[in-house]
Amino acid sequence: MYAAAGRGGVRLAAATPLFHRPALDDHLQNTYQPKWLHLMMHEGQAGYPLPAAAQVNDLLSALQGVGGQAVSSSGVNGKQGVVSEGQAYAMLSAGMRNDTALLKALTVGWQAQVQGVAGEHACGACCGVGDHQSAAQLCGRSASSLSGLCRRVPGTDMPAWSLPFQSEGSLGSATDGDEDAITALIYLAELLDDDEVRRYAVASITAFVLEDLGLADPSANSRPVPVAGDVPAALQTIWLWRGGSCWGGYDRSATGYGASDRNMCIAPAYFSPGQWRLFAKYVSRHSDLVPAGHRAAQIAEVLLSSVTWGYNLLNRISCSNGLVSNWWSLGEAWPWQGKLLCANSATRAGAYGADAVRIPWRVVLDYLWFPDETIASPLFGESGVQIGTWGAKEYANRWAGAWRSAIQQVVDYKGEPLLGSFPPFAPGVQRLRPDQILPLLSKLPSCATCPMGMTAVRPLPSILSEMCVHSALSRSHCVCARGSHRGTAGVATRLLPHS
């Protein structure tokens, strides 16, 4: 995991960086990087939505003189802005690629997001109180006059999920963006071998655990195990994760309209066990950098409890093929004894859609980084008895087995088997095209905890039908397209030849 060099023996070696392989670097560089570069906004250009670097109160010394960069999103109330999720993806990619210069510029942007409003205290993770004040007025308030879990760690915080602030709805952090950005901060600290950046990374992990996992209010954000049984003492408090600093997880504090979409609600795809194990190890190695008033042991214990109970939950609410709902309302006793109720971010409960699609890669990171630990993840029954182990390998095999089976059933437009590979990339066998295998995902069977099935990939017939209506395809082609795609569960799927 770490090279035996640097402070405390935990500096990542630049020569053999974590997750930095030529094939991966090429994929990130050639597939994702051009899209991110197209979306990049630079400090000083018209419309840059973040405070300038010089206006960030706690800007790291290593970032002095570096202009900020931000990933543009048009999804912030229909206007150009930044969402923490997009910024964090770019940061994580830059860290994985060892692109120190880009990571520094993106981290300036991240710290500006944490700042929120120039000249004010960081307030993005705070929540509004319904009086519709401007962002500057809100950020000028004391933390005690705002709601939510925010401003818990001096010198850092989680950012608002979207900037610039358009309304109180822009306030509050988002767990998924925060965990990716903090991982990138660890990359930056080790690439620079800089203790100030390490201290900031450790402080950010502390803020994440307090605000996004809920340690700042334990009684609201955790539950005792209903039956102790074989459960070790360190795991007898069930920690999971929130939607961010303002709502979600075990919290039941939301009232009024939309409360049922906030209280006891989690997004399964925010579960990131590999990153959380990394955070636990990092704060433990750098316990002397943990902010005053907090303990490395407690922070690590909460993180590892969230990993364990996250896997126990995922085991019960994911289908045998890996599909899982965008959202899940927790049970008050065991968390999997819940229901499909809450929904947010324009995605539905009971569907594997735009929110749920992140879970495979987040879980697989745990196996890639910590294989020995994830295969030992304990699985408990409702009597508290350990009934086995279940972690990233087992969940990934649900996906791999189902998709491989679907691929093996593909036939061409003549009804002949397509003896191809994607995945795995078998030598000497043709590689199937994405248009031959991606539609298969929409055919994965649903289950009781994900009854709508895969909605993130539209079935091929609907795409071809739109093509017939909106393009110059001949009527004969349309008939062929509609009539030749007959795939259903248990029936071989027939796909058109490549034109």
Quick check: 293 pLDDT over 90?
A: yes
- Boundary-marking domain end, from 191, 208, 225: 208
pLDDT band (50, 70, 90) for residue 327: very high
pLDDT of res. 6: 34
Q: Higher-confidence residue: 340 or 466?
A: 340
Note whether 32 and 173 are same-domain residues. yes
Note whether 11 and 78 are same-domain residues. yes
- Boundary-marking domain end, from 208, 236, 270: 208
pLDDT band (50, 70, 90) for residue 485: very low
Note whether 257 and 269 are same-domain residues. yes
Look at residue 495 and tell me if it is in a domain. Answer: no
Percent of the chain with pLDDT over 70: 79
Quick check: 5 pLDDT over 90?
A: no
Q: 53-62, 94-103, 239-248, 461-470: which has the minimum mean pLDDT?
A: 461-470
pLDDT of res. 417: 67
- Boundary-marking domain end, from 208, 233, 250: 208
pLDDT of res. 24: 61
pLDDT of res. 135: 66
Look at residue 492 and tell me if it is in a domain. Answer: no
Look at residue 229 and tell me if it is in a domain. Answer: yes
Quick check: 57 pLDDT over 70?
A: yes
Note whether 128 and 267 are same-domain residues. no
3-state SS track over the chain: CCCCCCHHHCCCCCCCCCCCCHHHHHHHHHHHHHHHHHHEEECCCCCCCCCCHHHCCCCCHHHCCCCCEEECEEEECCEEEEEHHHHHHHHHHHHHCCCHHHHHHHHHHHHHHHHCCCCCCCCCCCECCCCCCCHHHHHCCCHHHCECCCCCCCCCCCCCCEECCCCHHHCCCCHHHHHHHHHHHHHHHHHHCCHHHHHHHHHHHHHHHHHCCCCCCHHHHEEECCCCCCCCHHHCEEECCCCCCCCCCCCCCCCCCCHHHCCCEECHHHCCHHHHHHHHHHHHHCHHHCCCCCCHHHHHHHHHHHHHHHHHHHHHHCCCCCCCCCCEECCCCCCCCCECCCCCCCCCCCEECCCHHHHHHHHHHHHHHCHHHHCCCEEECCCCCEEEECCHHHHHHHHHHHHHHHHHCCECCCCCECCEECCCCCCCCEECCHHHHHHHHHHCCCECCECCEECCCCCHHHHHHHHHHHCCCCHHHHHHHHHHCCCCCCCCCECCCCC
pLDDT band (50, 70, 90) for residue 267: very high
pLDDT band (50, 70, 90) for residue 148: confident
Look at residue 491 and tell me if it is in a domain. Answer: no
Note whether 285 and 430 are same-domain residues. no
Look at residue 52 and tell me if it is in a domain. Answer: yes
Look at residue 498 and tell me if it is in a domain. Answer: no
Note whether 12 and 45 are same-domain residues. yes
Domain count, the chain: 3
Quick check: 484 pLDDT over 50?
A: no
Q: 24-33, 213-222, 384-393: which has the minimum mean pLDDT?
A: 24-33
Note whether 104 and 195 are same-domain residues. yes
For the whole model, what pTM was predicted? 0.86
Q: Average pLDDT of the chain?
A: 82
Note whether 203 and 312 are same-domain residues. no
Note whether 144 and 167 are same-domain residues. yes
Look at residue 451 and tell me if it is in a domain. Answer: yes
Percent of the chain with pLDDT over 90: 57
Note whether 20 and 158 are same-domain residues. yes
* Domain carrying residue 80: 1-208
Note whether 114 and 252 are same-domain residues. no
Note whether 40 and 155 are same-domain residues. yes
pLDDT band (50, 70, 90) for residue 143: low
